[in-house]
Structure 1
Amino acid sequence: MSIPAYARSNFQTLLRAAGDGNLALMACLDAQTGSPRYVICAVGRDDGDYVFTPFGHLTDGNPYDAYLPPDPGDPDGFVRPDVQGETS
């Protein structure tokens, strides 16, 4: 599956910020749930003020439980979770 241009561009921005030492980890609240989130931000300057651009948050618990990888047998698909008790 192809990664869209906006995601590649944001990733390159994140890499540049990391290379320049311009990353921050900020404590924020999730806008939907109000739960605490620890957000990875690029740090910039605008007329002497700091500007923090959020790129994503660190997942709670085991990150391997939070994401499903691409399916090696299907270039357009993803590995699907095993659903207990599923019947066909």
Structure 2
Amino acid sequence: MAIPDYARTNFNTLLRAASDGNLALMECLDAATREPRYVLCAVGRSDGEFVFTPFGHLSDGNPYDAYLPPDPDDPIGAIASPMT
């Protein structure tokens, strides 16, 4: 699976923010469910005000259950575990 340019750009921005000490963890509400989410944000300044740019939220529960890793033998596939 090829990582799209926007994801690479956002990841590099996130790395820069972390190395500069401009990364924050904010408690927000999910717009659809109103459940609390803990969101990773880059922190910037604009016109003397802080600007928080959200990049994603931390997984609730076991993150290994939420994602399937890429399949090294199939560049466009994922390793699927059997459903139980």
- Report deviation, 1:6: 0.2
Structure 1 counterpart of 2:44: 44
RMSD: 0.8
- One-letter amino acid of the structure 1 residue matched with residue 69 of structure 2: P
The residue type paired with residue 46 of structure 1 is: S
Q: Match of 1:24?
A: 24
- Structure with max Cα Rg: 1
What TM-score does the superposition give when structure 1 sets the normalisation length? 0.91
Runs of 4+ in 1 over 2 A off after TM superposition: none
Q: What displacement does 1:72 show? A: 1.6
Between Structure 1 and Structure 2, the one with more strand by share is 2
Structure 1 residue runs without a partner (length 5+): none
Q: Report how many residues are paired.
A: 84
- Unpaired runs of 5+ residues, structure 2, are none
Q: Which has the higher contact order (CA 8 A, sep 6+)?
A: 2
Query: Aligned residues: percent identity?
Result: 73
